[in-house]
Amino acid sequence: MELNDSYGRNINYLRLSVTDRCNMRCFYCMPKEGIVKKEHGAVLSYEELLLVATTAVELGIEKIRITGGEPLVRTGIVDFLERIAKIPGLRHLALTTNGLQLAEMADDLYQAGVQRLNVSLDSLNPQVFSDITRGGDLSRVQAGLDAAEKVGFPPPKINCVIMRGVNDNEILDFVEMTLTKGNSIRFIEYMPAVKEDNWHQYSISGEEILQKIAGKYSLEQVDKGPFSGPSRDFRIPGARGSIGIITAVSGHFCSECNRIRVTSTGQAKGCLFSDEKTDLVPYLRPPDRERLAEVLRSIVSTKPERHSITTEGYAHQNFTMSHIGG
């Protein structure tokens, strides 16, 4: 079955967040302090998350990415992933992690049926990494990347949020990983998630990132896979890994959007930057599969054409990316 929205886009990808807790505090994602712990029962149980995932796949979703917060901090995550991987009709199961616990968990994740890992890594310099993440240990993430490959994963994709004056001097170092290590890199434009008045100061456009890379390397465009969605992908001829640019802010890539999102508390969103969200809890407690399917379908059919962050006077409610799942 195909799931299409009212602008003719095929929606085949669900980003499912399993927790909004995290063992890091990246400054662009979470406030330093003041994160209120969710009330007991506010977060969906694995049973409920599984029902959302199964229903979405029945409607036409083919790829699920498990995200968070940090998905690996939730107890029981490996068993849950194993159940998700077995959903009939699901073609692709991926997980986004900060990598801190990957060294210990990579084998279990692989055995559970996760096909692809994205690891968020914004600096290859231990001090800068620690500053961005407010205390994260780079060596643990690097050990996690190595462990993932040892147990059989393809080289994890690296998600890298580029911020002016913070890590934009490392763009070429990351690019070199596509040649030397075979990782694919996805450069993500910094988004105004934790609403700060000065967010523009960090902003560096995908175009500028691309120009920096093109100043040193020749690049060829890479054909997009069926689930790649709104990213522009390139490769240095001969490199094993590709280079993706996600111009969430500056680009008009919404025309290629293929995704919906569900948070760990059961809020479904058709667009990352829209304030519109639908509470799925009434259809999960008690479970009502038919209504749940209807509501998921309507989230797809009312999906906005595009975001309007770059329009003057744009205002969105403050949100933490850790709640939505990126």
Q: Site residues (CB under 6 A) for ligand SAM?
A: 22, 28-29, 67-68, 70, 96-98, 120, 159, 161, 188, 190-191, 193, 321-322, 325-326
Q: How far is the CB of 162 from ligand SAM (least distance, A)?
A: 9
Euclidean distance between CA atoms 306 and 254, whole angstroms:
5
Residues in CB range of 213: below 8 A, 6 or more apart: 171, 172, 175, 219, 234, 243
The verdict on 68 binding ligand SF4 (CB under 6 A) reads: yes
Secondary structure element (H or E) that encloses residue 149, with its range: helix 138-151
Pick from 114, 272, 292, 299: which binds ligand SF4 (CB under 6 A)?
A: 272
Residue 303 Cβ vs ligand SF4, minimum distance, rounded to whole Å: 7
Quote the CA–CA distance of 264 and 269 in Å, as a whole number.
12
- Residue 187 or residue 234: which is nearer to ligand SAM going by CB? 187
In one-letter notation, the amino acid at residue 302 is: T
Cβ 67 to ligand SF4, closest distance in Å? 8
Q: Which residues in 206-265 contact ligand SF4 (CB under 6 A)?
A: 230, 253-254, 257
Q: What is the distance in angstroms between the CA of the first residue and the CA of the last residue of the chain?
A: 27
The answer to whether residue 292 forms part of the interface with ligand SF4 (CB under 6 A) is: no
Measured from the CB atom, the residue of 137 and 176 that comes closer to ligand SF4 is: 137
Q: Let me know: does 188 contact 160? Beta carbons within 8 Å.
A: yes
State yes or no: residue 38 binds ligand SF4 (CB under 6 A). no
**Nearest approach, Cβ of 239 to ligand SF4 (angstroms)?**
26
- Tell me which DSSP letter residue 240 carries: S
Instruction: Write out the E strands in 106-253.
Output: 116-120, 157-162, 185-189, 220-221, 232-235, 243-246
Q: Is 24 in the site for ligand SF4 (CB under 6 A)?
A: yes
CA–CA gap between residue 286 and residue 108 (Å, rounded): 32
Binding residues vs ligand SF4 (CB under 6 A): 22, 24-26, 29-30, 68-70, 98, 120, 230, 253-254, 257, 271-273, 306-307, 321-322
